[in-house]
Amino acid sequence: MLLFMVSQAAAQYPGGSWEAATPESLGVDKAKLAQARDYALTGEGSGRIIYRGKVVMEWGDPKAMYDLKSSSKGIGVTLLGIAMKDGKANLDDLAKKHHPDFGVPPDENKQQGWPDKVTLRMLANQTAGFAKKGGYEPLLFEPGTKWHYSDGGPNWLAECLTLDYGRDLDAVMWERVFTPIGIKQGDIRWRTHAYRPKEFNGVPRREFGSGFTANVQAMARLGYLYLRDGKWNGQEILPKAFIDAIRHPEPGLAGLPQHEPELHELAPKHYSMLWWNNIDGTISDLPKDACWTWGMYDSLIVVVPSLDLVVVRAGKSLPREEGDAHYEPLKPFLGVIASAMAPARAALPYPRSTVITGVEWSPVESIVRSARGSDNWPMTWADDDAQYTAYGDGNGFEPFVPQKLSMGFAKITGGPGGFTGTNVRSSSGETIGHGPTGKKASGMLCVDGVLYLWARNAGNAQLAWSEDHGVTWQWSDWKFTTSFGCPTFLNFGKNYAGARDEFVYTYSQDADSAYNVADGVVLARVPKGKLKEQSAWEFFAGLHADGTARWSGEVKDRQHVLKHPGKAYRTSVSYHASTKRYLLVQPIASEEARDKSGRLDVRFSGGLAVFDAPEPWGPWSTVFYEPTWDTGPGDSASLPVKWMAEDGRALHLVFSGNDSFSIRKATLKMAEPKPVWAKGAVASVHPLATEAGLNAMKRGGNAVDAAIATAITLGVVDGHNSGLGGGCFVLIRRMDGLIIAIDGRETAPALATRDMYLRDGKVDDEASKTGALAPGTPGALAAYAFAIEHHGKLNLADVLLPAAKLAEEGFALDAVYARKLESTKEELAKFPASKALFFKEDGSLLKKGDVLKQPDLARTLRNIAEHGPDWFYRGEVAEKVDAWMKENGGILRKEDFGRYEAKLHVPLQTDYRGYEILGFPPPSSGGVHVAQILNMLETFELASMPVVDREHVIAESMKLAFADRAHWLGDPDFAKVPRGLIHRDYARELAAKIDLTKATVVPSHGEPPRAQEDIFGDTLKHTTHLSAADAEGNWVALTQTVNTAFGSKVIVPGTGVILNNEMDDFAVAPGVPNAFKLVGAEANAIAPGKRPLSSMSPTIVLDKDGEPFLAIGAAGGPTIISQTLQNLVNVLDLKMGVEEALGAPRLHHQWSPDELRVEKAMGDEVMKVLRERGHIIKESSGVGIGVSQGVMWDKEAKSFRAAHDPRVPGKADGW
């Protein structure tokens, strides 16, 4: 029978004042909170940080009043939520429905007809098109087509709501929001309209654009209301649909162009409903679900649901530098606060899931509890449509059985909101004995009408089965006696419907007893027709090289399928059909959770973890992880398949919390549906370049045409990284299977000498970086021309002329370009043509938002389009370079241009776990060392490793490879580069040197086999990367560069071409580091006509059927190798999508200097353990470890996926 019991525990709300707690008591890093506070105080003012409902830090006068400026938008829009709750408004209502005179004045708006198209959602999303000021402003573009930050639009929204209520909105706000959440009169004020008449239809006119004055006490309560999903002490104040609209922006918003992109960089990607957010991860240390109101002087109300965190701050402006990206001033504040919570959150054992991005649990007070005093509750969905379960140490459902049972049985009928629990009596199955003294059910499964049960506490576990739905049980004459102390079954649908295959799968923590935590979970399987036969069982024993599961009949060969060091506890696994993922649930217990008898007990408090994976054996990612859940998770928990909604979003957790049959609803947050790009895709660091590539495809071109169009356009809009004055590597996999490696690397001039940078025996390292001696002969154009002539569909002119038009008309500088100019302005100013282009007439430097026009470059591009590449290599450009070099002490000559040719190389091919990796051979060191490191990593099972172990192994492998790079690598036409570097035997030899417990010293390079005989060399007669692919099967990975920012800083007058400084990529002297701190040896010494060693690593991956599915590469000097490597590991080992792979935290080790650069997003816990293992950690943020781009084919969705690195602006798009 059924008995409901509801917990009275609830989220903590403040009464008249907030409860305070020390940061230490909640596991928060106090020093980091103080660091964030001190940063905020550079702008004076007041602030408060609330974690888990308690104030953990505050500063300034909490009663001081501050003009919140545009933070008012996020407060005012609360009334839209109230109107939605009252049924007065819907987000997609036309504004005209609420306001007959909407949008007028001015009359010009009416004449356009645009006001008739504006919805309330557009007003809240800043896509309506009104001009910035708060009065009656003109519409600047057709509504819904662009994003533009405005006060005028939000103020029209306020007028619509005023008409809806017919009264002063201030009164509505006090009645419906401020008073119910405990804000006191005097803590917040809302002035009347400053830009329009004070009254409207006889009532005061309020504005959303600005107007609120408040103290941090009021701000904190408003933030807490939003944190608690619009509820306050059980009362719904704001509807869930409104809160969801703020936290989950509509999918199309992120892709809209900005009307004035220089003002609020990337804004459409992180804005919704008049609130800012971090959904695109721009603030790397801050969770993506963070959202905030934000006004002038940096007034902030910040809500982070995943951290249970509210931060408020008001005062004067935070520090910012000219050219800073829009979010930059917030990073030292919000990013540091979020990182302070890391000890409390603990390091995740696996990365966040990209399929299921989170779980929203129903309130604690909504938990249904029945069968009080009984626990365990494994469940299965049987052939009669009922669910069967078993309880432990209790009397079951009411009416209770008379005797307390160690193991009893029950039948569950109905849904989670109205189920009936009926005890099933069984003389052959019921057991007596409290705790470990009696058998207890740990897993149940129905297959072909037979119930199967795993019983723990049976030394170790024993199988039983029932052919009459639990009344009669038979027991096996064998047991698991090694490990598998608490086995559970993987459950699919009704009566095992929808099973993956003909096997039954069983999981357990790797321990002999159910009462012990372990370091991981083990897995066994058996043909479903042979469950009762001990000899038919086999055990997961790791992964084969191709990523498939290895099985063994010997339990001693078992390996962990999931690693959760010191926390792996009782497990359940269910198949989630709508996402095709396996959901593994574990209560989180620790040794501290043992009761007085010594047994672990998390019935009343503890943590909860939910992991997901595409296969029963992984690779796993984290859906939910909370070391201290808001209620006791119980000693066991599961997600019954029968109680999963058809769309997969609503689930119900059955758990033994509070020693009961407890049910809690969970709503899964799914990743936004992705666009279908069936015809092609392009990814690059600049939107205009990506658009140029797509346009080339749309004009009839293929992926090669798109890649070259993108590359040439990048030379216009991203000239600090690449251009006609630089070089490139182009890797193509054609639709017919032919693989081409086109080498457009720069060459040393004929007058170059080995010691040309030595002055009195000392290296003049500036000469190789800046000025007339720094450039090599540019090769990019020759490679472009060869690629498009032989492998494209368009003519070179077809892709040159649009770039010329863009160069002539100009484009607005983004923050990245502006920062590069600022960092190199002194060097650029030394060269007249460079100074003329990048400085204004008054001598000031161009800044973010300024329009850069390049008429000389436009002319050069047009002449090449008309006359062909010879005009560049044997015509005017070569002549002008020759003359300038002679006048300025350079050695580059027109003859160097005239003899330049792009080279064709045999691409480098290697296998990794069944995938074929296509890389670029020397003079790229990237292809060699990506392959070499992958060969080392293939000896480790990366997918099942804990994060810190995996990162340690990757770092150690990098170190060994870069030691080899320093000695062996160079231009194969001039140096013997051993093929043995990528031999598997050599990789195994190197991998054996890796100590999993500590960082090892690598004193020097290794010795690959046949180093002098088996060599590379086969030919066929600041960097940026881009990737492109098309539906015909053409794939391109292209990496190009001028080396450091703006290369040599030289623009030869009349050409507009920025010349590279690739001579610095040679070893100017043995052991002397270049601009990237790389050292080299004789193999990379300077010689006339020689190509300098490069780290560029354009890479294409073929799947196990031999079809291309990934094109990837990176920019960032030597970090290109480590980025490309880690991106491949993320996709091939960890099964990430390309977007997640590029956004994941990175590390980099290049042997010399002996330091491990680690992105802060890797987490404090990981860095702490790496330090303990002996790594010298150098923390990195922003683009310190480079920038990647990639295109991937999603076979299941039949769509391309493209991604640009989230660390910088860029664009990935398709069609």
Annotated binding site for L-glutamate: 745, 1041-1043, 1065, 1094-1095, 1117
Amino acid at 317: S
Distance CA 1151, CA 956 (A): 9
Distance CA 130, CA 423 (A): 66
Measured distance between the N- and C-terminal CA atoms of the chain, rounded to whole angstroms? 57
Radius of gyration for the chain, computed over Cα atoms and rounded to the nearest angstrom: 32
Beta strands 231-232 and 203-204, pairing class: unpaired
Distance CA 718, CA 711 (A): 10
- Identify the CA nearest to 70 among candidates 300, 318, 324, 304: 300
Active-site annotation holder among 162, 1023, 1039, 1055: 1023
Q: How far is CA 306 from CA 290, 301, 1104, 1159, 1162, in A?
A: 8, 16, 38, 21, 18
For tokens 């960097």, what's the residue?
1023
Q: How far is CA 567 from CA 343, 510, 586, 944, in A?
A: 16, 11, 9, 15
Q: Mark out the alpha helices in 680-755 (DSSP H runs).
A: 687-698, 703-717
Output the six-digit token pair for 252: 């199309």
SS3 1024: strand
**Strands of 1156-1159's sheet in order across:** 1147-1148, 1156-1159, 1177-1180
Output the six-digit token pair for 1115: 């920019």
Beta strands 503-509 and 488-491, pairing class: antiparallel
CB distance 484 to 463 below 8 Å = no
CB neighbour class for 647 (10 Å; exposed up to 12, middle 13-18, buried from 19): exposed
SS3 694: helix
Distance CA 284, CA 289 (A): 12
CB distance 603 to 631 below 8 Å = no
**Strands of 915-919's sheet in order across:** 908-912, 915-919, 1099-1102, 1108-1115, 1187-1194, 1199-1204
Beta strands 212-214 and 66-67, pairing class: antiparallel
Instruction: For the beta carbon of residue 197, count every other beta carbon within 10 angstroms.
Output: 8
DSSP 1078-1106: ----GGG---TTPPPPB----EEEE-TTS
Distance CA 209, CA 131 (A): 12
For tokens 């000899």, what's the residue?
535
Contacts of 843 (CB under 8 A, 6+ apart): none
Amino acid at 1060: N
Distance of CA 656 to the CA centre of its chain: 34
- Identify the CA nearest to 460 among candidates 490, 440, 432, 445: 440
Instruction: For the beta carbon of residue 335, count every other beta carbon within 10 angstroms.
Output: 21
Distance CA 1121, CA 1097 (A): 6
Q: Any catalytic annotation for residue 1023?
A: yes
Distance CA 563, CA 569 (A): 11
CB neighbour class for 1012 (10 Å; exposed up to 12, middle 13-18, buried from 19): exposed
- Identify the CA nearest to 1146 among candidates 1166, 1132, 1176: 1166
SS3 763: strand
Strands in 760-893 per DSSP E: 762-763, 811-812, 851-852
Reduced 3-state DSSP string for 404-447: CECEEEEEEECCCCCCEEEEECCCCCCECCCHHHCCEEEEEEEE
Q: Pick out the residues of the known binding site.
A: 745, 1041-1043, 1065, 1094-1095, 1117
Residues carrying an active site annotation: 1023
